[in-house]
Structure formats: C-alpha cells, structure tokens
C-alpha cells in the first residue's frame, strides 16, 4: 500500500530475493495500521475545524463508477497476478504499464467507433486522422509525465544504493556495530 510500502516492497523483494507475496503478507498489518491512523488524524482535524462531509445524494454511486471504469481494474489485476507468479518486479511493472496503455487505447477505440456515432459524430477519415494524432500526442505527454515523476523516486533509490554500497564496501557497518557493542558494555 503506497506510500508506506509502495516502491519499497518491490525493492525489498528484488534485493533480498524474497517472493513478493511474502513481503506483502508481512507488510499488510503495518499498512492497515498506517492508513487507519491517517484516517483517524484527518477525521479528528476535520471535526476540530468544523468540517462536514458531503451528503449521500452528492456522492457518486458505486454502481455508476464501476460501470464506467471497470476496465481500469485490468492493469491492477495483471500486476497482482504476475507478482503472484513470482515474476521480477521490473518485468511486472513493464507489463502493467503496457496493459494500462492498451486499456486506454481500447476504451477510446470503442468510444470512437460505437458511442460517438450514436451521438451524431460520424466516423470519417479526417476524424480518424485527428484522433490518431491526438492519441499519440497524449501518449507521449503521459510517458513524459511518468518519466518526470519517476526522477524523484530514482534519485532516492540511487542515494540509498550509494549509502548501502559505501557501508558494505568500507566495512563501516561492522565497525559501527562493534562500536555500539563496546559502548553498551556487552562482551
């Protein structure tokens, strides 16, 4: 569950050669505690500030949301299924991204060829050309945004890797632990 173990679980599974499902089993309870605590704090602060929730009539119906967007669960199912099959997290992420792009493209194709003509927007060659150009532009913009957002995570992983490498190569970890043992008086 992000942000508690979002990318961290993948890294732990990769570096320790532990199956991803074992990491998930161990981290479910702390993740539930984290989100319960966040919910509790948000609720308490909202009560202190006199905030009110939306009425039931203003909330979207679950039925309508699932009817319109059920297909966006497919990449999530692919991600979980491939992780359960003990594939590497890198390959699973790649397939999940490909599945997400395929779902988005198929959703637009179905709308373009089946829904739009019913709304008075006929399918013509010029409209197909404009839709293809717009789709490619949106795909490139989405990939660019994803790359920009991944930079922060990549930098954090790189810094953590450097620290782990320095501690491991210099023997600083062993020296630090022996210093702590000496300070504690344990022989």
pLDDT in tens, 23-59: 888 888 888 898 899 999 999 999 999 998 888 889 9
Q: Are residues 88 and 133 in the same domain?
A: yes
**Residue 99 belongs to domain spanning:** 70-145
Q: Are residues 45 and 79 in the same domain?
A: no
Q: Which pLDDT belongs to residue 145?
A: 93
Give the number of domains in the chain. Answer: 2
Residue 153 lies in a domain: no
Residue whose entry in the numeric block shows the structure tokens 């505690």? 33
Q: Are residues 1 and 37 in the same domain?
A: yes
* Residues 6 or more apart in contact with residue 104 via CB below 8 angstroms: none
Determine what percent of the chain is predicted with pLDDT higher than 70: 96
What is the rounded average pLDDT of the residues 92-106?
90
* Residues 6 or more apart in contact with residue 12 via CB below 8 angstroms: 18, 23
Confidence (pTM): 0.60
Residue 17 lies in a domain: yes
Residue 31 lies in a domain: yes
Is 13 within 8 Å of 23 (Cβ atoms)? Answer: yes
Residue 169 lies in a domain: no
Q: Are residues 127 and 97 in the same domain?
A: yes
């Amino acid at each position: 569950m992000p942000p508690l173990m979002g990318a961290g679980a993948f890294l732990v599974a990769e570096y320790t050669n532990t199956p991803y499902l074992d990491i998930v089993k161990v981290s479910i309870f702390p993740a539930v505690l984290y989100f319960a605590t966040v919910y509790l704090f948000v609720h308490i602060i909202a009560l202190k500030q006199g905030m009110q929730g939306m009425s039931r009539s203003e909330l979207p119906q679950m039925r309508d949301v699932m009817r319109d967007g059920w297909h966006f669960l497919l990449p999530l199912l692919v991600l979980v299924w491939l992780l359960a099959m003990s594939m590497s997290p890198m390959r699973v992420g790649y397939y999940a991204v490909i599945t997400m792009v395929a779902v988005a493209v198929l959703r637009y194709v179905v709308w373009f060829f089946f829904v739009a003509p019913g709304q008075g927007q006929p399918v013509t060659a010029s409209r197909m050309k404009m839709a293809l150009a717009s789709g490619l532009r949106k795909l490139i913009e989405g990939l660019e945004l994803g790359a920009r957002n991944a930079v922060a995570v990549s930098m954090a992983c790189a810094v953590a890797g450097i620290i782990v490498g320095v501690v491991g190569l210099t023997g600083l970890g062993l020296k630090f632990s022996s210093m702590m043992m000496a300070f504690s008086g344990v022989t």
